[in-house]
Amino acid sequence: MTTTYQPAIPIWCAGCGHFGVQAAMNGAIRTLEIPPHETMILAGIGCSGTVQNNLGTYGYHALHGRVLPTAAGVHLAGHLVHSFRRNASFTYVVMNNGVYGLTKGQNSPTFQSNGSAALEFDAISLGLSIPSTTFLARGFARWTDQLDRLMLAAVEHARAGRGFAFIEVLSPCVTYNDTYPVWEASLHDLDADGDHDPADRAAAFAKLTALAETGRMVVGQIYLADDAGPADPLPRPAAEDTSPTTNAQAYAELLGRYRV
């Protein structure tokens, strides 16, 4: 057995929503029996950007704000908008707490300045607006049963090659922006809503928008394309035989095009 790094103890404050996110990620990996070497967790800068240290998988700590293109590069496929569009098969977890905890509490772009629960920047709405999106879900860090289920579904979706799985977790910061009570009181659970058909993009958009206007946020499986087949048609360059000998003839032919 080869010894590698020891998974770290999370640096987060007691009560941080990120514990719920990490538990859901860990649960999905274990339930699906994915060996640690087959998992790579890429994370950005800040409190959320330490989760990759804690689970014993391959981990990468990206430059600030650059985790998506890097993940797309790893996955050989894009930023948020472009990842939706490219529909690259990996799971993207947004740990939304509206604040920068690691630099001691400045507002983040998702900070709700009006004090209400309605999101002023809603990544889910953005995802819905892009036709190639296949999986959109939102969980709440304290609602662990649902979060575990959504995380598992997201990882399964991506692993099956059905496309980019986007899951936003409302993960409050108890130290600088404790939104537990206001968020929890404003949630509308689509999974418990007998009317919601996750395959109906237009209905999902309408419901989300209507609820937002009354200061409410939806959680649950918001959208799941029912025809999401194996996407990801990209080749796997890492597995290509790049030896000069193997490719000699093809290179020679290519050179021939420049002969005068």
Partner 1 sequence: MTLETQRKLNDINVMVAGQGGDGSLTVANLLGVLVGRSGFRMFTSRDVASRIKGGHAAALMRASIAPRGCMGDALDLLVAFDEEAVERGGPWLAENGFVIFDSSGGPAPREHLPAGATVYEIPFARLAVRDLRRDLFKNSLGFGVVARILSVPDDEAADVLSRRFAHLPPRVAEANLGALRAGFAYADDNGLTEGAGPLTLDRAAASDRIHISGNEAVAFGFLAAGGRFFTGYPITPATEILTWLERMLPRFGGVAIQAEDELAAVNMAIGAAMTGTRSMTATSGPGISLMQEGVSHLGSAEIPLVVVDCQRSGPSTGMPTKPEQSDINMVVHGGNGDFPRIVLAPSTPDDCFELSVAASNLAQRIQGPVYLILDQAVSQDSVTTAPFAVDAVQLAAGKRLDADDLSATSEYRRYAVTDDGVSPWAVPGTPAGMSLVTGNERNEWGQVDTAAANRVAMVDKRARKIAAVRDDLPLGRRWGDPDATIGMLGIGMELGAMAEATERLAARGFPVSGLQPRTLWPVLDETVEFIRDHERVYIVEHNAEGQLSHLIASVGAPHDRLRSILKYDGIPFRPGALAARILDAEGVAR
Question: Which residues from 143-162 bind partner 1, rule CB under 8 A?
Answer: none
User: According to the binding rule CB under 8 A, does residue 9 interact with partner 1?
Assistant: no
209/205 Cα distance (integer angstroms):
6
212 within 8 A of 194, measured Cβ to Cβ: no
Which of 5, 9, 113, 194 is the binder for partner 1 (CB under 8 A)? 5
Of 121, 149, 147, 150, residue with least CA distance to 136:
150
Which of 26, 46, 66, 142 is the binder for partner 1 (CB under 8 A)? 66
23 within 8 A of 54, measured Cβ to Cβ: no
Q: Tell me how far, at minimum, the Cβ of 84 lies from partner 1, in Å.
A: 12
117/140 Cα distance (integer angstroms):
13
User: According to the binding rule CB under 8 A, does residue 101 interact with partner 1?
Assistant: no
User: According to the binding rule CB under 8 A, does residue 248 interact with partner 1?
Assistant: yes
User: According to the binding rule CB under 8 A, does residue 247 interact with partner 1?
Assistant: yes
> What are the beta bridge partners of residue 174?
none
User: According to the binding rule CB under 8 A, does residue 30 interact with partner 1?
Assistant: no
Which of 27, 36, 46, 215 is the binder for partner 1 (CB under 8 A)? 36
29/36 Cα distance (integer angstroms):
8
Selected range binding partner 1 among 21-29, 103-111, 118-126, 238-246, rule: CB under 8 A: 238-246
b/e map 178-206, b = 16+ CB within 10 Å = ebbeebeebbbebbeeeebebeebeebbe
Residues in the interface with partner 1 (CB under 8 A) total 57
Nearer to partner 1, 41 or 147 (CB): 41
Secondary structure (3-state) at 20:
helix
Which of 13, 23, 62, 118 is the binder for partner 1 (CB under 8 A)? 62
Selected range binding partner 1 among 75-83, 164-172, 193-201, 220-228, rule: CB under 8 A: 75-83
Which of 10, 15, 27, 56 is the binder for partner 1 (CB under 8 A)? 56
Nearer to partner 1, 115 or 259 (CB): 259
Rg (CA), the chain: 20
User: According to the binding rule CB under 8 A, does residue 82 interact with partner 1?
Assistant: yes
Structure tokens at 237: 């360059």
Nearer to partner 1, 209 or 251 (CB): 251
Q: Which helix (H) or strand (E) holds 68?
A: helix 67-74
> What are the beta bridge partners of residue 188?
218
Residue with tokens 């986007």: 166
149 within 8 A of 24, measured Cβ to Cβ: no
Which residues in this chain contact partner 1 in the complex, by CB under 8 A?
1-6, 8, 35-38, 40, 42, 52-53, 56-63, 66, 69-79, 81-82, 234-240, 242-244, 247-248, 250-252, 254-255, 258-260
